[in-house]
Copies of this chain bind each other. A is one copy, B any other.
């Protein structure tokens, strides 16, 4: 129940973040809506397509689409005020990341998949909406280049998955996974923590 509410907040926040990216590309309103839908629901959609789960959540619950579209349109209207909201925005975005991750892990776990696949499912759900957004806006996915993001997703997934094996209650593990992931994400933004980069300059082609 709590997870579901957090999920709804998550798709709304992802839609708002996507609308701003689309606005920087000067897309028209409909383009903004498409980018918002792809960003907010794309990760979960890709996960379900890969797992062969049908119907997709937003096809079964079109209200998810409505939430995303309303969030995107509201963002267009309030964009001039967004800079002031930036901090709270990053907070909500970090929340979306960990919530999506836990949802994705939970679904793969319910299908009794291998732990590696559970981690991947969480990471796809948490981060690939943003990857699809970046591909549609033709920029190299930020995921691969910015402060800890995908790694936060892996961390949250790992905690969520490990918890039951060390005797921790499912709900406690869920909250612990989200709290830890969220905290690390906030610290990563604050202190610009980054993964080591692989810089390869050899002339290959």
Hey, which bits of chain A sit against chain B, CB under 8 A? 19-32, 34-35, 45, 49-52, 54-56, 59, 62, 65-66, 76, 79, 82-83, 86, 113-114, 116-117, 120, 131, 135-141, 143-145, 150-151, 154, 194-202, 204
Asked if A65 and B116 sit within 8 Å, CB to CB, the answer is: yes
Q: A32-B198, A62-B116 are in contact. List 17 more A-B contacts (CB 8 A).
A: A19-B198, A20-B204, A23-B200, A24-B200, A25-B140, A26-B197, A28-B194, A29-B197, A31-B143, A34-B143, A49-B49, A52-B56, A62-B117, A79-B202, A83-B202, A136-B140, A136-B141
Asked if B52 and A54 sit within 8 Å, CB to CB, the answer is: yes
Contacts A23-B198, A24-B204 hold; do A139 and B141 have CB atoms under 8 A apart? Answer: no
Asked if B66 and A144 sit within 8 Å, CB to CB, the answer is: no
**Complex contacts, A141 vs chain B, CB 8 Å:** 31, 136
Cα separation A82 to B201 with both chains bound (whole Å): 11
Indicate which residue in B35, B51, B196 contacts A28 across the interface (CB closer than 8 Å).
B196
Contacts A49-B50, A54-B52 hold; do A27 and B66 have CB atoms under 8 A apart? Answer: no
Contacts A135-B135, A150-B34, A204-B24 hold; do A59 and B29 have CB atoms under 8 A apart? Answer: no
Asked if A66 and B31 sit within 8 Å, CB to CB, the answer is: no
Contacts A28-B144, A50-B56 hold; do A65 and B151 have CB atoms under 8 A apart? Answer: no
Asked if B199 and A144 sit within 8 Å, CB to CB, the answer is: no
Contacts A131-B136, A137-B140 hold; do A198 and B45 have CB atoms under 8 A apart? Answer: no
Cα separation A83 to B79 with both chains bound (whole Å): 42
Cα separation A45 to B52 with both chains bound (whole Å): 12
Cα separation A178 to B90 with both chains bound (whole Å): 44
Asked if B195 and A28 sit within 8 Å, CB to CB, the answer is: yes
Asked if B144 and A30 sit within 8 Å, CB to CB, the answer is: yes
